[in-house]
Amino acid sequence: MSDIHGCIEELRMKMEQVDLDGENYIVFLGDYIDYGDSSYQVLQYIWDLQKKYGDKKVIVLKGNHEQMFLEWIDDYRNSYSDGTEDLPVFNDWLRTDFEHGANTIRTFISSQQLDFLNQISRTCSLETISIEAVRMIFSGHEDLIRWLRKLPSYYETKNQIFVHAGVDEEAGEYWMWGTSDDILLGKFPATKGKFYKTIIAGHVGTGSGDLAGDSKYHDVYYDGESHYYIDGSVYKGGKLLLLAYNEGEDKYYQIEEGKKKPVKKFIKYV
């Protein structure tokens, strides 16, 4: 599952279709926050799930949106803690969040704290607002931020690589050493074609021009060779996709309303 983007109800409904009995496990591919109305609630839900089942059955990877959020926190928390007047180069994450109605920040703080931020926004710079917002978020959710910071960027099995965006495929079997965090979390455009392992990724909407090329397409995208993309653009009215793998059959299925639909190579009909 990938790119939940603050859509908690869709996550809860989709998790009703997940079976974690026996040797089953689930991998979350990142981008739990931003855009939707429940970023904090999504993080807390997934963290609670991992605490309940353990990190072998609930594997949680980091996405580029979590990385940007953490960089914003680090930049301005350091400035606040040091008491320095030398503010960091402005981190654009806050501006983007404010353009979306502070959809992410508001989920981490109380209504009174949000009112205070709105009040000082009339006279203070975004840098000053950042310092105050970070102080509020970190003081209330330090343990969650610490957990978020430790999330890995990929998960590898014998035949698969789970990652938010992708790997440097030109490095071949040495991808682990040849792939930067920027590629793991933000690779663009999406890669298609043959690789020595199957790559399961999100980050790029399956209906985007790099993949299906159809804004109404929100199902799993399989290139017929080595790549499965599972960002169904749920926050834009698409789907929260659940891709299941049957190891015995070596087959992939898209789970919809509890039913398994075999994933086949995407073919665009003109």
Neighbours of 24 (CB within 10 A): 11
Residue in 79, 84, 83 with CA at minimum distance from that of residue 130: 79
- The structural domains of the chain, with segments of one domain joined by +, span 8-62+153-262, 67-146
Residue 135: enclosing H or E segment and its boundaries? helix 126-140
- The reported pLDDT for the residue numbered 197 is 99
CA separation for the pair 4, 67 (Å, rounded): 15
Peptide bond before 189: cis, by omega within 30 degrees of 0?
Answer: yes
Q: If you count them, how many residues does the chain have?
A: 270
CATH architecture of the domain with residue range 8-62+153-262: 4-Layer Sandwich (3.60)
pLDDT per position in the chain (270 positions), as tens? 999 999 999 999 999 999 999 999 999 999 999 999 999 999 999 999 999 999 999 999 999 999 999 998 988 776 655 555 555 545 678 778 888 888 999 999 999 999 999 899 899 887 788 889 999 999 999 999 999 999 999 999 999 999 999 999 999 999 999 999 999 999 999 999 999 999 999 999 999 999 999 999 999 999 999 999 999 999 999 999 999 999 999 999 999 998 999 999 999 866
Q: What is the mean pLDDT of the chain?
A: 93
- pLDDT, tens digit, 9 for 90 and up, residues 190-241: 999 999 999 999 999 999 999 999 999 999 999 999 999 999 999 999 999 9
Q: Which amino acid is at 129?
A: I
Greatest extent of the chain over all pairs of C-alpha atoms, in Å: 62
Residue 102, pLDDT score: 85
Predicted confidence at residue 86, as pLDDT, reads 54
- Residue 167 is given by DSSP the state -
